[in-house]
Amino acid sequence: MRPYLLGESAWKQVREQEVDLVVLPWGATEAHNLHLPYATDVIQSDHLAAEAARLAHDEGARVMVLPTIPFGVNTGQTDIYLDINLNPSTMTAIVGDVLETLDRQGIRKFLIFNSHGGNDFKPILRELGLQYPDMFLAFTNWFSTLDKSKYFDHDGDHADEMETSLMLHIRPDLVRPLSEAGPGTEHKIKIKSIREGRAWTERKWSEVTEDTGIGDPRQATTEKGQAYFTDVTRKMADLFLEIAKADLNDLYE
């Protein structure tokens, strides 16, 4: 058993542990082009958070990773078959219930480990921070940690070369032949200000992509995925360590 993963731990062990930081991985259940499984974001959350926690634990961090939440915000994908949506208000309720438990039990540090681009935790943590002012609340989008251009040839943000390479490293048995994958071509919105990032609107997924992917995955390799996995988990382990060891009464220089 890995003592930093709550889902693998027994009560005999847990009741004697001291925990400084609780990490909640959060994924989504959605189509990932024609070659990756619906649970891609969940699987990546599971493996990346576990490895980062292992590294941090081995360096003295008292960290506990909760089981991954398997559903995320998919409000732009309502017509993609079996993409499962959680509304932001539902996510707020889930996080609030978790925080109520941690606060009652004296655990003051909480980090959401996010694997899905549609999940936006900033307003959620702003609101809940008012209810739990003595807690340290944070989130990380692990996929924004590193410059992907140093690892991959093609950019993208969904079922792309990066996600496909990671899955080839983590769970190659769940990756269909890349010859079956679509090109992940993105049809960009015609409104220039939105296209250039000066404004935002939600993408209508079935009109943005024909294969549910954005970014060409067909040059993905296991080797690229392993290199990226190693470097991301090191960065995330450093984050876990820093938060776990931080003095909440002395956070600012």
Over range 15-40, report the average pLDDT: 97
Q: Which residues contact 165 (CB under 8 A, 6 or more apart)?
A: 151, 152, 220, 221, 222, 224, 225, 228
Six-digit token string for 196: 């250039």
Q: With b meaning 16 or more CB within 10 Å and e meaning fewer, what string describes 49-72?
A: bbbbbbbbbeeebbbbbbebbbbb
Cβ neighbors of 87 (< 8 A, separation 6 or more) are: 73, 75
pTM for this prediction? 0.97
What domains are there in the chain, each with its CATH number?
A: 6-245 (3.40.50.10310)
Query: What is the tens place of the pLDDT at every residue in 63-112?
Result: 999 999 999 999 999 999 999 999 999 999 999 999 999 999 999 999 99
Strand partners, 112: 24, 139
Binned at pLDDT 50, 70 and 90, residue 126 comes out as very high
How far is 145 from 70, CA to CA, in rounded Å? 21
Q: What percent of the chain has pLDDT over 90?
A: 100
Mean of the pLDDT values across residues 137-159? 97
Residue-level pLDDT at 82? 97
Nearest to 80 by CA among 248, 235, 209, 219: 209
Among 225, 164, 152, smallest CA distance to 35 is for 164
Nearest to 22 by CA among 105, 127, 88: 105
CA distances for 154 relative to 8, 40, 174, 201, 219, angstroms? 37, 19, 22, 24, 8
Note the pLDDT of residue 1.
82
- Check whether 168 has a pLDDT greater than 90: yes
Both structure tokens of 92: 């707020």
How far CA 207 is from CA of 68, 77, 171, 186, 198, in Å, comes to 30, 10, 30, 9, 21
Determine the residue type at 179: S
Q: How confident is the model over 132-144, as pLDDT tens digits? A: 999 999 999 999 9
Q: What is the dihedral of CA 86, 88, 89, 94, to 10 degrees?
A: 70
Q: Mean pLDDT throughout 148-159?
A: 96
